[in-house]
């Protein structure tokens, strides 16, 4: 089954080109809103070099993670060319740059995402970057990115349909457990579009949607639910990161009572909070305390800010307020 036109027509994401890092922080990252960035990976060698033949040549003899199994790239391409199931397996490998160093050299982190505080952990940091390859129909059903991180996803070849909901809006048909450790949702992405996409049309908080194409980057803010489906064969790179804008969120997440179930990408789930906090305090003395102070001041300012009804005064009766 192919994606229907009405499922692809809505494109309401903000698109930005050529903004400064300061603008990105103030207008996108601080308010925690998605954005599609144009032109920020134009210098990547991968955009010109990554074809099937090139990837097969440089990865000969290496195996990649494909769902629950591993296989060489030639075998995966053979599978992708003949796949008929409703939800094809997705190549999603976190160690691609270690396995094939040429792949790691063919891209660089866009300037907006270079403050990567998990890097203070060195080799003990959780998994954070993946190469993603898949045929049309493959993708990821609704999820929130791991460890309360934000993410960026850059398309090198192909096109992806994105649907995103803010943290406080659980997508229709999706049922997270009370502790957040498990999420129940339709088996396939196409099933969600068939049975639940139409319901979003009447919602006050409708999803952010777009089709992202080669050379474009989607920023996924921390906590946002998102679904992604490939509209054609696609190659992409994604990275999760922690900046000072979401550091406190990540630390809170890592110290939850059920961290052993929630934390992902590392074998030492229980101690990750203490290791990370200690490494941040050693590498950036005072940063955490400063961010906590700023968060308290921001919360206090919001409390003092009068609501509309508290501040609405009748001009003829002086001090009377609607409250």
Note the pLDDT of residue 46: 98
> CATH number for the domain including 214?
2.60.120.650
251 close to 189: Cβ distance less than 8 angstroms? no
Residue 306 has pLDDT above 90, yes or no: no
Q: Among 50, 10, 41, 44, which Cα is nearest to 216's? A: 41
Is residue 116 left, alpha or beta, with left meaning phi > 0 and alpha meaning psi from -120 to 50?
beta
Residues 6+ apart with CB under 8 A from 187: 86, 87
242 close to 250: Cβ distance less than 8 angstroms? yes
Position with higher pLDDT, 306 vs 27: 27
In the chain, what percentage of residues exceed pLDDT 90?
Answer: 78
Provide the number of structural domains found in the chain.
1
Q: Within 13 Å and on the Cβ side, how many CA atoms surround 118?
A: 26
Distance CA 308, CA 9 (A): 36
- Identify how many contiguous H helices and E strands the chain contains and give both numbers: 13, 15
Note the pLDDT of residue 305: 67
Note the pLDDT of residue 317: 41
Q: Within 13 Å and on the Cβ side, how many CA atoms surround 28?
A: 26
Residue 320 has pLDDT above 60, yes or no: no
Given CA atoms 317, 318, 322, 323 in this order, what sign does their dihedral have?
negative
Residues 6+ apart with CB under 8 A from 162: 13, 208, 209, 210, 211, 212, 218, 226, 227, 228
Instruction: Look at residue 87 and tell me if it is in a domain.
Output: yes
Report the SS3 class of residue 54. Answer: helix
Residue 313 has pLDDT above 90, yes or no: no
Instruction: Look at residue 300 and tell me if it is in a domain.
Output: no
Distance CA 167, CA 144 (A): 8
Q: Judging by DSSP bridges, how do beta strands 216-220 and 150-157 pair with one another?
A: antiparallel
Task: State the pLDDT confidence band at 9, using cuts at 50, 70 and 90.
Answer: very high
Burial class (CB in 10 A: 0-12, 13-18, 19+), 287: middle
216 close to 110: Cβ distance less than 8 angstroms? no
Residues 22, 24, 28, 29, Cα dihedral to 10°: -70
Report which secondary-structure segment, H or E, holds 239: strand 234-241
Position with higher pLDDT, 300 vs 237: 237
Give the distance between the most distant pair of CA atoms in the chain: 82
Tens of pLDDT along 163-174?
Answer: 999 999 999 999
Domain that residue 157 falls in: 5-276
φ/ψ of 312, rounded to 5, equals -80, 110
Instruction: Look at residue 307 and tell me if it is in a domain.
Output: no
Instruction: Look at residue 253 and tell me if it is in a domain.
Output: yes
Given CA atoms 310, 204, 143, 36 in this order, what sign does their dihedral have?
negative
Instruction: Look at residue 162 and tell me if it is in a domain.
Output: yes
Instruction: Look at residue 322 and tell me if it is in a domain.
Output: no
Residue matched to tokens 């005072």? 286
Distance CA 291, CA 249 (A): 11
Instruction: Look at residue 285 and tell me if it is in a domain.
Output: no
Residue matched to tokens 């192919």? 2
Instruction: Look at residue 287 and tell me if it is in a domain.
Output: no
118 close to 241: Cβ distance less than 8 angstroms? yes
Report which secondary-structure segment, H or E, holds 50: none
Task: State the pLDDT confidence band at 303, using cuts at 50, 70 and 90.
Answer: confident
Burial class (CB in 10 A: 0-12, 13-18, 19+), 237: buried
């Amino acid at each position: 089954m192919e994606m229907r036109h009405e499922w692809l027509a809505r494109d309401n994401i903000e698109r930005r080109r050529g903004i400064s890092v300061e603008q990105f922080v103030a207008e996108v990252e601080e308010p925690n809103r998605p954005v599609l960035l144009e032109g920020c990976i134009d210098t990547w060698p991968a955009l010109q070099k990554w074809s099937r033949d090139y990837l097969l040549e440089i990865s000969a003899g290496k195996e990649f993670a494909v769902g629950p199994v591993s296989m060489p790239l030639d075998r995966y391409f053979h599978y992708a060319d003949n796949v008929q199931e409703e939800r094809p397996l997705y190549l999603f490998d976190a160690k691609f740059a270690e396995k094939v160093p040429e792949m790691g050299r063919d891209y660089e982190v866009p300037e907006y995402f270079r403050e990567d505080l998990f890097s203070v952990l060195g080799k003990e940091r959780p998994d954070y970057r993946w190469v993603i390859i898949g045929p049309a129909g493959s993708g990821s059903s609704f999820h929130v990115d791991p460890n309360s991180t934000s993410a960026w996803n850059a398309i090198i070849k192909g096109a992806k349909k994105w649907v995103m909901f803010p943290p406080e809006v659980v997508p229709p048909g999706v049922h997270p457990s009370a502790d957040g450790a498990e999420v129940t949702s339709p088996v396939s992405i196409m099933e969600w579009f068939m049975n639940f996409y139409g319901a979003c049309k009447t919602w006050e908080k409708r999803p952010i949607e777009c089709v992202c194409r080669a050379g474009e980057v989607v920023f996924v803010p921390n906590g946002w639910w998102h679904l992604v489906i490939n509209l054609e064969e696609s190659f992409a790179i994604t990275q999760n990161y922690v900046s000072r804008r979401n550091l406190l969120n990540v630390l809170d997440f890592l110290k939850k009572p059920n961290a052993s179930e929630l934390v992902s990408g590392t074998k030492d789930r229980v101690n990750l909070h203490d290791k990370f906090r200690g490494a941040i305090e050693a590498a950036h003395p005072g940063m955490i305390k400063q961010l906590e102070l700023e968060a308290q001041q921001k919360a206090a300012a919001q409390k003092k800010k009068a609501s509309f009804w508290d501040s609405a005064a009748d001009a003829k009766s002086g001090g009377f307020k609607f409250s």
